[in-house]
Structure 1
Amino acid sequence: MSYIGRFAPSPSGPLHFGSLIAALGSYFQAKSQQGKWLVRIEDLDPPREMSGASDLILRTLEAYQLHWDGEVVYQSQRHALYQNQIDQWLTTGQAYYCQCTRKQIKETGGFYSGLCRDKKLAPDGQQAIRLRMTHPIYQFHDEKHGELLIPKPLANEDFIIKRRDGLFAYNLAVVLDDIDQNITEVVRGADLIEPTGRQISLYQMLNKSPVSYLHLPLALDENGHKLSKQNHAEAIDNSAPIPALLDAMQFLGFKLEADMDNASVEEIITWGIHNWCLSQLPDTTEITPRFSNRAR
């Protein structure tokens, strides 16, 4: 099977340095194998989205010469796919309605105990839908980090596939989309290591072969917090992309040539494709980037 990778940002704001790392890592991994690189906008959570962010993200990818293959997919247009699978599981009893609140779960140790599993609750519009965990994943293989462990309480938990506010859960949507788009490998940040176990379990419940996974190191701010939109990370510059591009490539372990500052964005990306290798990636899962003078 030919390689198909993807970059799947949420439109909660513009791309920042941390999301540039994820975009570059997934792009280089795909293109170094003559594969396809898809873009999917994960607009599942309207209250957290910023107006115009989807278009801004796509313009940023174009400014950094990260050209996607095929049409951009929007999760907001795929609700029928998610609901159809949920309905099938509700019919078979694999999924069930749950009325437990976050406060109740926190008071009982922080992990869901299965209190509503056998209550056979009727829907009332105020419940979440959970999936019975029949295929817990306690460890998985990461292409860079080897075998990674998932805490047993987390692995054994019946997790939410549709929230009580009616929004579809990330784990369900991402797996159904990756299957539908024939994704062969997921390259993303190390903050998503723990959900990987749940996602592999979903593949098994759906009788599908899981994709392979590669988790890139997270970029931290000077206070040790993940660079994220929630933590007010600054947007990368679309009008002058080279400084952030080169800094992100150094973060990913590239040994840049001396005259790279004078190259075009297209030349830098082409060079990156030809020189990409997994062994160059840092072994750690978190790094505080050291920005060069070019980015000041």
Structure 2
Amino acid sequence: MNTFFMELTSEDGGEFSNFCRMSSSDFELLLQKIGPMIEKQQTRLRMPIPAKIRLALTLRYLATGDSYKSLHYLFKVSTPAISQIIPEVCQAINSVLKDQIKLPQSPAEWLSIEAGFRRKFPRCVGAIDGKHIVIKCPPHSGSQYYNYKHTYSIILMALVDSEYRFIFADIGGQGRISDGGIFQTCLLMQKINTGTINLPPDAPLPGREIDVPYVFLCDGAFAIHKHIMKPFPGDHHFNTMERTFNNKLSSSRIIVENVFGILTTVFRIFKKPIEIDRENVPTITMTCILLHNFLINSRTSSNIYAPKELLIP
């Protein structure tokens, strides 16, 4: 149906991976998983759009943020059909890749995450931050989604590990609410407050006797808590204990900002306001997060998606 895309799959030189943001083998693997969920039956009146084109169209939309009209010219698919295909394919991807993001369930799983941070910040089990997902102004919403950056947005609250993977994501908070305010009501904080997050028990650092808790690193917008570590407020003189601590915390916490940077650079839909109904934005955002983990973990796509030499060790 789409000669351009069929020719693209047969070319060498990286054109396909740049177009779909993944290797051809991972594209085929993903297509195999979601194909039965998105393919349509042929009728006497029409030939269905192949599942391969549906997936490629959706990946291109996420990779560029192009309008439906631009995608229509590229894929020769009508804009009404595109408006149905993209949410449907995103829901299918979310269904088959849902295990790509998983909050640890046991102390042993948390300890494996802590091992990645141990050299820089012992007892750290993840870095937390919020990101504004810019959207068009929802109708009749007033200032609910209007943020301090003078745009309309929903909030992505995320926890990442030292391997640049998402291990928790909460999407949909109103843009007018601060990161700290969003975090206080999300599932992760509820688990921390109720003691159901199953962190390892407090233990002394090597060569010390005082028990130290396992903590999540965040910036100054968050409230301090036994398991939430933030920088000392204010400016501090060079070589002071507070300045050294803040530097260590920031150099470890910055990984979550780097993850957001990779996500935005590859999935350029986040570079400008997302021109779809607000109700569909969390689904599309979660699709990009799951694809991020899928590609980071992939043997054939990880170096395409996020080259190792560009990642901070």
Same fold by TM-score greater than 0.5 = no
Q: Which structure has the bigger radius of gyration? A: 2
Q: TM-score, normalised by structure 1?
A: 0.27
**Greater percentage in helix:** 2
Q: TM-score, normalised by structure 2?
A: 0.26
